[in-house]
Amino acid sequence: MLRGLYTTASAMIAQQRRQEMLTDNLANANTPGYKADQGSLRTFPKMLIQATGTDHAKRYGSNHVGELATGVYMQERTQNFTQGDVQETGNATDLALLQGRVPVDEETGQAATLFFTVESDEGAVRYTRNGNLTVDGEGFLTTSQGNYLLDGAGNRINVGNETFSVNGEGQIFVQPDQDPLAQLNIAVVPDSAQLVKEGNGLLRYDGEQGVVTALGNEDADYQIQQGFVERSNVDAAQTMTDMMATLRSFEANQRMLQSYDKSMERAVNDIGRIG
């Protein structure tokens, strides 16, 4: 009976964590560049049951009875880096990064992902797909949360005001007939599974393979569209359906847990008193 309690309790915890993940996704359904999380449910290792102190081995030729599953858990949250829909805004400060051909790891088959390069509040390099940008009071191009965009040399980009233009390669012009003021750095992250969300649309890369730039990289093809943003790739309707299914599963395990609890209560109060 205690095994049943542990199994149903682990299932409730797993469904609760999955519900939290789905809630985060739904809350960011309108966040530009947001990538939805996906959860993987796994079973705990199975236990082998053997009969001891009985004639089971004589009767069946072995003490082995069978296997017992010991519950489930949510193993990990992985991000879905598929391209989101592109929405026109008409704002000069909005930039959409459209990903084309990217390098693919020959051993794992893992495709790289492209990102804008930004500076975190601590001065470290971070990555984002959120192209909802703005110009701060000093004329620097930043994200809507105030993180500076970086150029190919790792420097902040000062555009002065919002009257600038960006071509498909990410070159920034203040005057159409002049040389480009700066070049947006587009990072090529080889293993997107090693990206960690830090909030405000920023991602930290913890992988062992180095991040390279897409500038002058024949294996990485992209296009920048000014006046557009990449929307979140969260499917709101599917997420709501998954949340309802998760809730029903949680409630079913909750009723099972209550049933076990009542059985134990009866065993303690009634059967124990008779004994």
When pLDDT is averaged across residues 158-164 and rounded to a whole number, the result is 90
When pLDDT is averaged across residues 147-174 and rounded to a whole number, the result is 92
pLDDT top residue among 2 and 169: 169
pLDDT category of residue 2 using cuts at 50, 70 and 90: low
Residue 273 is predicted with a pLDDT of: 62
Residue 63 contacts residue 49 (beta carbons within 8 Å): no
pLDDT category of residue 230 using cuts at 50, 70 and 90: very high
Residue 257 is predicted with a pLDDT of: 79
pLDDT at 51 over 70: no
The Cα 21–Cα 274 span in angstroms is 48
Residue 111 is predicted with a pLDDT of: 87
- Give the torsion through C-alpha atoms of 15, 18, 19, 25, to 10 deg: -170
- Quickly tell me which residue has 């076990």 as its tokens: 260
Residue 175 is predicted with a pLDDT of: 82
Summarize pLDDT for 64-77 with one digit per residue, the tens: 555 555 667 676 78
Beta carbons within 10 angstroms of residue 2's beta carbon: 8
pLDDT category of residue 54 using cuts at 50, 70 and 90: low
pLDDT at 13 over 80: yes
User: Picking from 123-132, 155-164, 261-270, which range would have the lowest pLDDT averaged per residue?
Assistant: 261-270
User: Picking from 53-62, 98-107, 266-275, which range would have the lowest pLDDT averaged per residue?
Assistant: 53-62
pLDDT category of residue 44 using cuts at 50, 70 and 90: low
The structure tokens listed for 167 are 């071509």
pLDDT category of residue 33 using cuts at 50, 70 and 90: very high
Compute the mean pLDDT over every residue in the chain, rounded to the nearest whole number.
84
Counting Cα atoms < 13 Å in the Cβ hemisphere of 13 gives 13
Residue 98 contacts residue 36 (beta carbons within 8 Å): no
pLDDT top residue among 185 and 273: 185
Q: Quick one: which of 39, 42, 40, 65 has its CA closest to 52?
A: 65
The set of residues, in sequence order, having a beta carbon less than 8 Å from that of 11 and lying 6+ positions away, is: 71, 72, 249, 253
Burial zone of 254 (CB within 10 Å; 0-12 exposed, 13-18 middle, 19+ buried):
middle
The DSSP line for the chain is -HHHHHHHHHHHHHHHHHHHHHHHHHHTTTSTT---EEEEEEEPPPEEEE--SSSHHHHHSSSEEEEE---EEEEEEEE--PPPPEEE---TTBEEEEE----B-TTT-PBPEEEEEEE-TTS-EEEE---BEEE-TTSBEEETTSPBBBBTTS-B-B-SSS--EE-TT-EEESSTTS--SEEB-EEEES-GGGEEEEETTEEEE--SSPPEE-TT-TT--EEEEETEEEPP---HHHHHHHHHHHHHHHHHHHHHHHHHHHHHHHIIIIIHHH-
- Quickly tell me which residue has 């233009």 as its tokens: 165
The identity of residue 146, as a single letter, is G
Residue 36 is predicted with a pLDDT of: 93
pTM: 0.78
pLDDT category of residue 148 using cuts at 50, 70 and 90: very high
The structure tokens listed for 130 are 């959120």
When pLDDT is averaged across residues 181-191 and rounded to a whole number, the result is 93
pLDDT category of residue 39 using cuts at 50, 70 and 90: confident
Terminal C-alpha separation, the chain: 20
When pLDDT is averaged across residues 50-79 and rounded to a whole number, the result is 61
